[in-house]
Amino acid sequence: MRRLFPVTDQTSADQTDREWSLDELAEAYAYPSPGPDGHWLRANMVSTLDGAAQHDGRSQPISGESDMRIFGTLRALADVVVVGAETVRQEGYRPARARDAFAARRSAAGQGPAAAIAVVTASMDLDFSLPLFTSPLVPTLVLTGAGAPADRVARATEAGAEVVVAGEGSGVDPARAVRVLADRGLRRQLTEGGPRLLGQFVAAGVLDELCLTISPMLTAGDAQRISGGPSVTVPHRLAPACLLEEAGFLFTRYRRI
């Protein structure tokens, strides 16, 4: 991992052209102290040079080894990973795992062995026989609305998931979802999309930070951008916090001003 542009500190020349250790990545991506709301919502997404967030419906084809190191580091720092149901279905989501490299850091921060996964869904159309629900290290949360189908709520509970109401209707209120997770002590929050869920967080004004991997690929086609759904009245301006590079991939980090 090579640091190209030190935004917040000074980096000597002999530190710029080498692979960073996991400890160094963890320091670079450490969560800031929670703001007045008591939580910090970070997004991690990948995009090609021409703006595609997926290829053939999945993000994996536009990712790479260095991107997965960042992906794993961000998960290892989070209390909870928030993800949309469609992404769970398309990407074959599995439970977050404990990693020895981050065990001491998580213990010192008062965190459990791994982040919880929180799935956002209105329909509750999920396969509750998957390991994400039947054998997670930390019980999987299902965020849904008060009007969610009762039979599917029951199936989720029977599978071992914990259903959390975060909306008055059938859907989830993004701002409420962030609050209810924080109320459960899950203050270091990470969303991995998909684009529709990220767009909802952006439109609700609750996204604090974006970690965007720029993949050195072109795909053309009509793939989704990293953020979709409702538009905002005025574009949200973010400030750059860090820029790293490896194998042609750029790892950017922007924070809310």
How far apart (Å, rounded) are the C-alpha atoms in residues 27 and 15? Answer: 15
User: Residues 181-221: pLDDT tens digits?
Assistant: 999 999 999 999 889 999 999 999 999 999 999 999 999 98
Q: Which helix (H) or strand (E) holds 142?
A: strand 141-144
- pLDDT over 70 at 13, yes or no: no
Mean pLDDT for the chain?
90
Question: What angle (nearest 5°) sits at the alpha carbon of residue 108, between those of residues 186 and 3?
Answer: 85
- pLDDT over 80 at 12, yes or no: no
- pLDDT over 60 at 16, yes or no: no
How far apart (Å, rounded) are the C-alpha atoms in residues 198 and 75? Answer: 17
Cβ neighbors of 39 (< 8 A, separation 6 or more) are: 178, 179, 181, 182, 186, 187, 188, 189
Is the separation of the CB atoms in 74 and 190 below 8 Å? yes
Threshold 0.75, pTM exceeds: yes
Cα distances (angstroms) measured from residue 16 to each of 4, 11, 19, 134: 7, 7, 9, 44
- Tell me the average pLDDT across 47-68: 90
pLDDT computed for residue 252 by the predictor: 96
Residue among 43, 86, 51, 46 nearest 64 (CA): 46
Q: Where are the beta strands (DSSP E) in 24-104?
A: 40-48, 80-84
